[in-house]
């Protein structure tokens, strides 16, 4: 005898928490009505659509899905499927809005809470970039002072601010050189303190602008405090309750109030900077003006960052939870572009809005890649080397590699669905080609930043500092040994020489009247010694004066003249003056990277490509590579500080000289090009030599390894 199995009981609705409230919210971008579930216990707002609203309106704990469907259809004629109800119940459970989870066991919420708790190390890794510390509850204070602050939000005050700003900008533009030159005065401890005070004033006013505007629209401000951004303290205001407002215009006003206050301060500070006398107040006005303009326009209004500009942009286009929804669309569009799997979009939106959100998502990803990499570098330099490397890797792994890995995992889960289309095969083929290109040693060309010049080159520098009186030669002019190039003068030497000659004349006069003057006759021996001393002093000063005449060390052609050496300018010992080329042979000198030095052999053939496009390339052959890395870049035309391709770090050398130290290890290389016709002037360009084949992967990992070894101090 067979016993029939009893049918499974119909699923019933769970009980919702009693402290929840449902309020109507601002409509979506397409005009669809929206509602907000207010979770006062967790101070959270969950936005739901029209379907969820119909379900919540007829929600009764313990009734079946069918009974809820019938109640919704009877009251509003709205059709709801059982799958939609099940999905909505899962949504409520995941957001802890039901009295008990779907499993019916309180341990589910306990497990969720445990997952949210981290050890202090995990917490620090996730939060060291942004830590929020609430300090006080300002709501009562804000309401008490609102009536006094309210006129600052009027149209009349806005017009006054605009007038001050326009006049200030106009007057500042008339003395723009003085304004920009002021930046140099702030690269000091005093300047840093002034900027810290200005930033405190501007950001405090910014947050008060948010807070007073929120109170003006009836929004409660539960807390204000300090958040640490890259360990730098910045004020913040909690205006989360603004999500309860039904008017997007009101939310725009609250979100834009901070920027408006910053711009107002910048307008007044720019205006008063023009009229204030030099001193602390003028410096503070300059700091407030620059902080206000830069922070408002470059940071706060940037929609790609989670600051005011993001929320203003979200409210302006009518899209709540902007980044999450845009990122979902961006990932969907990326999959469609790469694999063409024809999956439905995460949500239905008008085509124009969908394209806007996809572009926004992709732009934000690129921006984040740049910003997070930059933050990683800043974090590295803010700490000692070992901790800096650890934080750098955490930043790169957590904020860049982890999201990419997560998306790749999604592709792997979809598996065959992604692989069945023709587009997928094309994408995989292109990825394979790129991988092979990356790991295959195919590149045999070695680039060496170089300068082409005569083999016998004399670089001319002053023997002593002085003021340029006259430049006697031109580029390309043929000169003989000892010919005057530049004539300098020194008021100090002229003055000392004049004084010494007057003293000598006086001494000679006293010696000449010894026969008639008893005092001079008695001082004859002293006067004789004094005359010898003055003669030696005058001879020395005359030699120094002669050294002010800069002459050619050898016969040849003036290949280069320093354009900054002109009459009236003071030059020192280390100032390059001219380059004299003698002989008929031609060489290219440059600096080869450490990794490339191991791939090339002496005698390797190559060619020099001049920087000027109208010059033809010249065949060269590697002659010499130095055995030790260059401590400084002596060919200044190749240094980055002079527009060259080699990155250098200037530092002070002996006797006040300026040394250009290369960032990466470089070896001086000399290439022979003696069969070529000599150019009139030295030419900057790149030498390309043939060396051992190397893959881009080898170059990349070798470069990364060398940087890690260098920066770790190993």
Distance CA 284, CA 273 (A): 9
Cα-only R_g, the chain? 38
CA terminus-to-terminus distance, the chain = 83
- Mind giving me the DSSP string for 66-88? HHHHHHHHHHH-----HHHHHHH
Q: Which two tokens stand for residue 438?
A: 């990356």
Distance CA 159, CA 271 (A): 15
Q: Which two tokens stand for residue 107?
A: 């341990």
Q: Which two tokens stand for residue 370?
A: 């740049």
CA torsion through residues 379, 380, 386, 390, sign: positive
Read off the pLDDT of residues 68-92 as tens digits, 9 standing for 90 and up: 888 888 887 778 888 788 878 877 7
Beta bridge partners of 489: 467
- Other CB atoms within 10 A of residue 99 CB: 12
Q: What is the pLDDT of residue 82?
A: 81
Distance CA 240, CA 214 (A): 10
- Where the chain has pLDDT below 70, the residues are 1-10, 28-31, 40-44, 100-130, 181, 183-188, 229-232, 376-389, 391, 395, 455, 520, 583-584, 653-657, 674-681, 704-714
Q: What is the pLDDT of residue 316?
A: 83
SS3 655: helix
Residue among 199, 175, 168 at smallest CA distance from 287:
199
Q: Which residue in the block uniquely carries the two structure tokens 């003249």?
A: 561
Whole-number Cα distances in Å, 265 to 193, 208, 367, 662: 19, 13, 29, 43
Distance CA 176, CA 434 (A): 50
* 220 neighbors 238 (Cβ within 8 angstroms): no
List the chain domain ranges. 20-116, 121-318, 332-439, 446-451+583-712, 455-561
Distance CA 279, CA 265 (A): 19
Read off the pLDDT of residues 285-298 as tens digits, 9 standing for 90 and up: 888 888 888 877 77
SS3 297: helix
Distance CA 427, CA 419 (A): 10
Distance CA 664, CA 593 (A): 7
* 445 neighbors 697 (Cβ within 8 angstroms): no
Residue among 507, 494, 493 at smallest CA distance from 535:
507
Beta bridge partners of 232: 229
Read off the pLDDT of residues 396-417 as tens digits, 9 standing for 90 and up: 777 778 888 888 888 887 777 7
Q: What is the pLDDT of residue 1?
A: 43
SS3 710: helix
């Amino acid at each position: 005898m067979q016993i029939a199995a009893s049918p499974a009981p119909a699923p019933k609705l769970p009980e919702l928490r009693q402290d929840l409230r449902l309020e109507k919210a601002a409509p979506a971008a397409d005009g669809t009505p929206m509602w907000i579930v207010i979770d006062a216990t967790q101070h959270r707002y969950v936005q739901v659509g029209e379907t969820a609203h119909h379900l919540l309106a007829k929600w009764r704990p313990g009734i079946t899905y069918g009974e809820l469907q019938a109640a919704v259809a009877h009251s509003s004629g709205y059709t709801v499927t059982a799958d939609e109800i099940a999905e909505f119940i899962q949504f409520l459970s995941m957001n802890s809005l039901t009295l008990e989870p779907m499993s019916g066991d309180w341990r589910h919420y306990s497990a969720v809470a445990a997952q949210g708790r981290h050890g202090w190390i995990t917490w620090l890794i996730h939060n060291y970039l942004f830590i929020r510390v609430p300090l006080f509850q300002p709501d009562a204070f804000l309401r008490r002072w609102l009536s006094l602050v309210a006129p600052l939000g009027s149209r009349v005050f806005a017009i006054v601010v605009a007038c001050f700003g326009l006049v200030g900008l106009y007057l500042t533009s008339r003395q723009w050189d003085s304004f920009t030159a002021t930046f140099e005065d702030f690269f000091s401890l005093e300047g840093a303190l002034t900027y810290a005070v200005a930033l405190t004033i501007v950001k405090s006013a910014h947050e008060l602008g948010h807070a007073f505007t929120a109170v003006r629209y009836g929004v409660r401000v539960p807390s204000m405090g300090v958040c640490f951004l890259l360990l730098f303290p910045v004020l913040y205001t909690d205006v989360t309750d603004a999500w309860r407002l039904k008017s997007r215009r009101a939310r725009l006003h609250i979100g834009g109030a901070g920027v408006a206050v910053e711009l107002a301060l910048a307008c007044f500070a720019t205006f008063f900077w023009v009229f204030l006398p030099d001193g602390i107040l003028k410096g503070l006005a300059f700091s407030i003006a620059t902080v206000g303009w830069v922070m408002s326009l470059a940071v706060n209004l940037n929609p790609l960052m989670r600051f005011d500009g993001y929320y203003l942009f979200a409210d302006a286009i009518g899209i709540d939870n902007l980044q999450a929804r845009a990122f979902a669309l961006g990932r969907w569009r990326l999959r469609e572009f790469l694999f063409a799997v024809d999956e439905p979009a995460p949500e239905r939106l008008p085509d124009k809005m969908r394209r806007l959100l996809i572009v926004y998502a992709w732009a934000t990803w690129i921006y984040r890649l740049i910003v997070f990499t930059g933050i990683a570098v800043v974090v590295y330099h803010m700490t000692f080397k070992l901790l800096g490397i650890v934080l750098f890797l955490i930043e790169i792994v957590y904020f860049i590699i982890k999201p990419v890995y997560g998306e790749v995992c999604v592709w792997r889960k979809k598996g065959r669905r992604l692989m069945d289309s023709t587009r997928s095969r094309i994408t995989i083929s292109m990825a394979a080609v790129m991988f092979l290109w990356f790991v295959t040693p195919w590149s045999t060309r070695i680039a060496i930043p170089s300068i082409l010049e005569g083999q016998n080159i004399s670089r001319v520098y002053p023997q002593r500092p002085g003021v340029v009186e006259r430049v006697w030669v031109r580029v390309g002019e043929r000169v003989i040994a000892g010919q005057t190039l530049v004539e300098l003068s020194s008021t100090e030497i002229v003055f000392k020489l004049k004084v010494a000659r007057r003293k000598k004349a006086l001494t000679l006069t006293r010696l000449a009247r010894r026969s008639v003057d008893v005092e001079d006759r008695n001082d004859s021996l002293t006067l004789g010694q004094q005359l010898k001393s003055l003669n030696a002093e005058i001879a020395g000063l005359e030699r120094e004066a002669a050294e002010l005449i800069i002459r050619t060390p050898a016969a040849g052609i003036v290949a280069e003249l320093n354009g900054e050496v002109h009459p009236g300018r003071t030059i020192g010992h280390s100032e390059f003056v001219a380059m004299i080329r003698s002989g008929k042979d031609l060489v290219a000198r440059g600096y080869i990277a450490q990794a490339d030095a191991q791939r090339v052999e002496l005698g390797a053939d190559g060619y020099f490509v001049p920087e000027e496009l109208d010059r033809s390339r010249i065949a060269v052959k590697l002659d010499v590579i130095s055995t030790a890395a260059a401590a400084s870049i002596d060919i200044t035309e190749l240094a980055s500080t002079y527009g060259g391709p080699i990155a250098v770090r200037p530092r002070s050398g002996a006797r006040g000289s300026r040394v250009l130290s290369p960032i990466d290890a470089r070896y001086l290389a000399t290439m022979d090009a003696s069969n070529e016709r000599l150019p009139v002037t030295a030419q900057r360009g790149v030498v390309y030599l043939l060396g051992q084949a190397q893959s881009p992967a080898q170059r990349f990992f070798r470069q990364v390894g060398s940087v890690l070894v260098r920066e770790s101090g190993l």
